[in-house]
């Protein structure tokens, strides 16, 4: 996987980093983004939070699910034409944690897919699922968290099932690429 960007030690910007890192993970092998481009996503999200007078609240308290969705939409708007970045929430509030973990373990192995999870309890945090095993959820985390013991749910922390977001990316054929294919086929037939 590409480099994971880390949040500061004294902020609650994990939602921003989870959104950015989910985009990078889901677009892996489809597109490459420069550090400047990734920084522009971050700055666009910060500017939007500032515009709506939510920056201080997010910095002090973190992001809710609606803010997470808005971060992904801001990044979507900056995607190149050749990439279709989408997201969905796979679970309802009443979905059992054990059921969600089983489904996350399948979803997280799909190509060009990233799973963002919300964690509560000992941690109030957003993170990315790397993989799951029978006893752990391994993470690609902006704050250095490496895994969650499933047996410690809900004693120390809990997966907020309804706050799971799946980010996917697909390559899209642009008008230019279709024209190039037609030209290549025409040359081959001559």
Walk me through the domains of the chain, giving residue ranges and CATH numbers.
14-189 (3.90.70.10)
- Alpha-helical runs (H) found in the chain: 14-26, 35-51, 55-61, 65-77, 97-107, 175-189
CB 116 within 8 A of CB 127: yes
Average pLDDT over residues 167-175: 88
pLDDT at residue 118 is higher than 60: yes
CB 49 within 8 A of CB 79: no
Q: In whole angstroms, how far apart are CA 180 and each of 82, 104, 175?
A: 14, 39, 9
pLDDT at residue 8 is higher than 60: no
Strand order across the 113-121 sheet: 83-88, 157-171, 113-121, 125-132, 136-140, 147-149
pLDDT band at 6 (very low <50, low <70, confident <90, very high): low
How far is Cα 32 from Cα 185, in angstroms, rounded to an integer? 28
CA-nearest of 82, 39, 89, 101 to 65 is 89
134 CB-near residues (< 8 Å, 6+ apart): 150
- Specify the higher pLDDT residue, 184 or 54: 54
Confidence (pLDDT) at 37: 97
Class of residue 181 by CB neighbours under 10 A (exposed 0-12, middle 13-18, buried 19+): exposed
């Amino acid at each position: 996987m590409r480099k994971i960007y880390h949040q500061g030690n004294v902020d609650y910007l994990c939602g921003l980093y989870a959104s950015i890192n989910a985009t990078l993970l889901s677009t892996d092998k489809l597109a490459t983004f420069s550090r400047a481009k990734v920084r522009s996503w971050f700055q666009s999200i910060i500017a939007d939070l500032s515009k709506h007078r939510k920056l201080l609240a997010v910095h002090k308290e973190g992001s809710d699910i609606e803010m997470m969705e808005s971060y992904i939409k801001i990044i979507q708007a900056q995607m190149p034409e050749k990439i279709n970045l989408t997201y969905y929430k796979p679970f309802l509030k009443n979905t059992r944690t054990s059921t969600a973990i089983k489904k996350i373990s399948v979803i997280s192995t799909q190509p060009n897919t990233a799973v963002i999870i919300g964690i509560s309890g000992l941690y109030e945090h957003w993170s990315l699922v790397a993989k799951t095993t029978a006893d752990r959820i391994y993470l690609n985390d902006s704050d250095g968290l490496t895994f969650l013991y499933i047996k410690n749910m809900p004693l120390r922390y809990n997966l907020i099932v309804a706050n799971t977001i799946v980010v996917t990316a697909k390559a899209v054929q642009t008008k230019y690429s279709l024209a190039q294919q037609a030209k290549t086929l025409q040359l081959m037939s001559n």
